[in-house]
Structure 1
């Protein structure tokens, strides 16, 4: 028996797991593999993201109360920005590194970044 620890996914609390999973499947070219009332899963080229419906969910603020966020590596910031905005993301006004990284909110208000730096 081993004491190894492996990350299998990141779980995100939100007001509607199904809706947020659909958003992330769209922007990552992933597939929704679980779509339940309280839980949804997206399997994508970069890994797995899980979503849990939490009644009364309050989104974090940026900059401010966000304790974590997702980073996505992209080739073309401008083209990918247009795609995530069309999918329902919102671009934050505060952009601390906009030469290589853009910060957005997903439809549930969680910050995520598109970056050309790995």
Structure 2
């Protein structure tokens, strides 16, 4: 028997509304703001939430001396089309050296790493 159920994955960031907007465009859902806390609701999968973190320092990818903290794997049907869309929304490429593998690594506008994975 489990002790708990995962309620949400919470991302610290400098601007919760802006980062929630990025993920709303990528994953769908509605933005619900309560002060410095923002929920992304109504989408599929595990709920995401965003909280203001003064002095936020984005993780480094990959660096043994700078923790990546976590990353999200986002399954897509068309890697090239999904890449164009996330880049247009403000993502940046973190690893572009191997276009033949089944995933590609990016950072969201606040610097959190995420992967687009072939579905």
TM-score bin (small chain): 0.7 to 0.9
Offset, 1:93: 3.5
CA RMSD of aligned residues (A): 1.8
Within the alignment, does 1:7 sit opposite 2:6 as a pair? yes
Q: TM-score, normalised by structure 2?
A: 0.87
Q: TM-score, normalised by structure 1?
A: 0.88
Equivalent pairs, count: 115
Deviations 1:47-92 (A, max 9, x none): 3101010101000000122021011111110010001001110011
Distance 1:100 1:74 in 2: 10
Structure-2 change in CA distance of 1:95 and 1:15 (3 Å): farther
Distance 2:13 2:87 in 1: 19
Offset, 1:30: 2.0
Structure-2 change in CA distance of 1:96 and 1:66 (3 Å): farther
Name segments (4+ residues, structure 1) moved above 6 Å. none
Structure-2 change in CA distance of 1:59 and 1:96 (3 Å): farther
- Give the unaligned 5+ runs of structure 2: none
